[in-house]
A and B are shown apart, each in its own frame.
Chain A
Amino acid sequence: MMTNPSMFDVKDIRKNIPIRRGLFSRQVGTWDILNGITFSLNKGEIMGCVGESGSGKSVLLDCLLRMTSLSSGEVSYSGRNLWSMNQDELRGFRRDVQLIFQDPVGSLHPRMTIEQILSEPLAINAIGTPHERKERAAELLQLVGLDASMAGRYPHQFSGGQRQRIGIARALAMNPQVILADEPVSALDVSLAAQVLNLFLDLQEQFDLTYFIIAHDMAVLRQLCTKLAVIYAGRFVETGLNQEIYNSPQHPYTRALLQSSPSMARSLDTRQQFEVPRGESPDSARLPAGCPFHPRCDFARDVCAVELPPQKRISDTHAVLCHVFPEAG
């Protein structure tokens, strides 16, 4: 039996930032941004992470990219702890793992031509001669469906959808293994977003890529991902395969997300109501005791306000962090 090799192994990572006030920077509290996240990402998987702003999902990406330190826990890539890599391993890591940004405007340097932007990764890592890099830039443009003649233009001369493609092209420059994406289509128009989503799937097939995508739109992740994690207040409250999460969601927050996502189909069904979860997003400086979701949960019991819920396994691939669900019996 051959399982896919693990690309990322994340073990119980936490990130807590002290809040300091006053002349002497006294610590008055902590921002508990990540509170124990564990998962692995295997080759060929498309993993999605859904949550709202403040849930910690962006910080999670930064941790995977080694852009921010961990308060505790470990992130390993190909078996090596990110923070104990030597120079060579680190360089290899930087070639293997790339990032696609949400904002196509801010992620491309306004004063560099597309060709320069696309050959930067190669130049930084001293790959190829300048001529070879130029050719590679042209090749990358064609890969994402843009004309190679555009290499001499500046980012502002392109539309949002095209800029996002350039961002994708840049991520592909060094033949990465893993691509992390931060809300890759939320800033795009409907038809352009659809093109980019299809492009993601095409590239995945073509290059056997592994993805980790964070988003707030559950429909997008349904389309793309093989497995998902729902993040709330810095924890994965539910993880599972695509069909497990969408067909039999267990955690009340997962269900709240699904219910509050606007849907064309549901709008036609007069039997269903547009469900509205109550309450506000959690403040990571002031997380409630016990389960962080309990103040907003319709199913909360006494124990939920006191104790952190345990992780319950529903299947090999489906887990949920809840006292109440799945219901026994």
Chain B
Amino acid sequence: MVSNVQTAGTILGTRETPGWKKAAIFLWENKTLTIGLVMLIVVVVCTVAAPLITTYGPNDQDIRNRLKPGFWSEEGSPGHPLGTDGVGRDLWSRIVYSFRASLFIAICAVLITVAIGMTVALVSGTFGGWVDALLMRITEVQMAFPFIVLALAILSAVRPTPLVLVVVLSLSAWPFYARVIRSLIITEVQSDYVKAARVQGASTWRILFQYVARNVAPPVFVVATIDIATMIVLEGVLSFLGIGVQPPTPSFGNVIADGKDYLNTAWWVSTFPGVAIVFIVFAFNLVGDTLHKHIDPTLRTRY
């Protein structure tokens, strides 16, 4: 009785290509993503396999070879491709080992930020009313605090252990997530498919986790990815000021700080860690940006 059985005709079809080939084509056509991914792999290798790619330890001092330039100069000491710092430590090694501290802190900070932000957003969005108003006022107060002021205030009273640093970074970032996630949740809750679920008798929990989360999680994931880079920069600032990762543990910030007295002469000590930060930021941004475009299945091309 009911006619018009649809055949494959108008649906953007899928042909049978092997998965790996599809992936290869995908990577070729999205060169920015590929470059970003390659850079990320470098980051991961540096973090995880630091001992394997360095000849010297990050804290091995060699006063006789202090402030030696790297591969670009004839005076360079063999085995120190990027030169040495003020007490003769291999710069390459210090930079590679910095990845560990910085990335660890940055990733933990992002995770905690997202956790707090999401929770607050869920509570705010679900309960509404004065709870929502109160929480939003708290976020506003928190956001009004300049990051540095907050960091200085806390870190002057407490020793900057990695845990404390993670807390400081999260404290400044969670309000943004809370507010953004909250407005995403509010928009989602008003959508027609949520209404459809309610008409079918779905409970609030189900709606939040099955429907709302599915749409909120991907953009949050993308922003969080890019935020890792931001956290690394912020941690670098703190370390540079001396209230971040404490020496002798290397982190980009304090390696840069080590070289600030020699900017005219041994410029490499401060420059290369900076380059490393730029590299990481670039990597995360490239990946995050292109992920953003691809993560949304609703972004179909018209043709």
Does a CB–CB distance below 8 Å link A and B in the complex?
yes
B2 and A145 within 8 A (CB): yes
Complex contacts, A120 vs chain B, CB 8 Å:
197, 200, 202, 210
A199 and B2 within 8 A (CB): yes
Stretch of A15-23, A150-158, A268-276 on the interface side: A150-158
A91 and B192 within 8 A (CB): no
Which residues of B pack against A, CB within 8 Å? 1-7, 10-12, 191-193, 195-203, 206, 210-211, 214-215, 218, 296-298, 300
Complex partner residue of A156 from B192, B195, B197, B300, CB under 8 angstroms = B300
B12 and A157 within 8 A (CB): yes
> Separation in Å of the B18 CB from the closest CB of chain A?
18
> Separation in Å of the B265 CB from the closest CB of chain A?
57
Residue of B nearest to A122 (CB): B200
| Residues 280-319 of A at the B interface (beta carbon under 8 Å) | none
Which residues of A pack against B, CB within 8 Å? 65, 67, 90-91, 94-95, 97-99, 101, 103, 106-112, 120-121, 124-125, 142-147, 150, 153-159, 162, 170, 174, 195, 199, 202-203, 206
A121 CA to B197 CA in the complex, in Å?
A: 7
Complex partner residue of B201 from A125, A154, A199, CB under 8 angstroms = A125
Please list 17 pairs of residues, one from A and one from B, whose beta carbons are closer than 8 Å in the complex, sorted by A's number.
A65-B199, A94-B200, A101-B196, A108-B193, A109-B193, A109-B215, A110-B297, A111-B297, A120-B202, A121-B201, A124-B203, A147-B6, A150-B11, A154-B297, A157-B12, A195-B4, A202-B2
A98 and B297 within 8 A (CB): no
Residue of B nearest to A182 (CB): B192
Complex partner residue of A170 from B12, B196, B296, CB under 8 angstroms = B196
A206 and B214 within 8 A (CB): no
Residue of B nearest to A112 (CB): B214
> Separation in Å of the A146 CB from the closest CB of chain B?
5
Complex contacts, A103 vs chain B, CB 8 Å:
192
Complex contacts, B298 vs chain A, CB 8 Å:
110, 155-156
Given contact pairs A90-B201, A99-B195, A159-B10, a sample of 14 additional A-B residue pairs in the complex whose CB atoms are under 8 Å apart:
A99-B199, A106-B193, A109-B211, A109-B214, A111-B214, A124-B197, A143-B2, A150-B6, A156-B297, A157-B12, A158-B11, A170-B196, A195-B4, A206-B1
A106 CA to B12 CA in the complex, in Å?
A: 20
Residue of A nearest to B218 (CB): A111
A125 CA to B199 CA in the complex, in Å?
A: 11
A145 and B195 within 8 A (CB): no
A124 and B6 within 8 A (CB): no
B1 and A202 within 8 A (CB): yes
A157 and B197 within 8 A (CB): no
